[in-house]
Amino acid sequence: MRRVAVVTFPGSNCDADARHAVRLFGMEAVPVWHKDTALPKVDAVILPGGFSYGDYLRCGAIARFSPIMPEVVRFASQGGPVLGICNGFQVLCEVGLVPGVLLRNSKLRFLCQDVNLRMEGKPTPWSRPGGETIRIPIAHMEGHWFADDETLARVEGEGQVIFRYADGAPNGAMRDVAGVCNASGNVVGLMPHPERYVEAGVGGTDGRRVFEALVEALA
């Protein structure tokens, strides 16, 4: 059975949802605490959504110094699949595993709504390109993805934008970016929450695409 680590920081509030989604797809969800100094033997890692350390300083700025993060970086450097969702995306940006930064939403208010995402860019363990549109929810205050001109040109040119808001970014993100990957394609940061839409009874099932991609990648 494939094993997926889900890291919990103080203030994480989507870790249980992420573990539930992992189990729905026949994988073992392995809880990992932010103070752990070693990852167990796993096939993938998820940094879930929430408000790690209360979002003090900047979102993800304190979580990047958690004892577990050097292990996550090491796992990623060896090609291991890593997914950061919402606050997890912010942590990945802070630690330098994916490009760009996440700023306050352009209208300076918390956004909680469904959005349409277009899947594009290079293939990753968490996505498949091809232009398919999926609908999943966002829930964030700091989802405005930003990058300087040089980084933006590189990210666009190398196919690192893998999820884009199909109807325009409600948070003001540059080029309507909703999710990006690293140059190698194994690390993905995504602002919307696929783990919340994996069962019809809670509003939708389009989030299954992300976990189906992982199952396929690990097969």
- Catalytic pick among 14, 59, 86, 181: 86
The predicted-structure confidence for 135-151, as pLDDT tens digits, reads as follows 999 999 999 999 999 99
93 annotated active-site: no
Residues 6+ positions from 183 with CB-CB distance below 8 Å: 158, 160
Please choose, from the candidates 78, 32, 87, the residue with its C-alpha nearest in 3D space to the C-alpha of residue 58. Answer: 87
Q: pLDDT-based confidence at 58, cuts 50/70/90?
A: confident
Residue of 34, 140, 144, 193 with catalytic role: 193
Residue with tokens 């808001």: 165
b/e code 144-161 from CB counts within 10 Å (16+ = b): bbebeeebbeebbeebbb
Residue range 181-210, pLDDT digits in tens? 999 999 999 999 999 999 999 999 999 999
pLDDT of residue 56: 85
Domain ranges of the chain: 3-218
| 3-218: CATH topology | Rossmann fold (3.40.50)
The string of pLDDT tens digits covering residues 104-127 is 999 999 999 999 999 999 999 999
Verify whether residue 193 is a known catalytic residue: yes
Confidence of residue 131 (pLDDT cuts 50, 70, 90): confident
Residues contacting 77, CB < 8 A, separation 6+: none
Q: Can you tell me whether residue 158 is helix, strand or coil?
A: coil
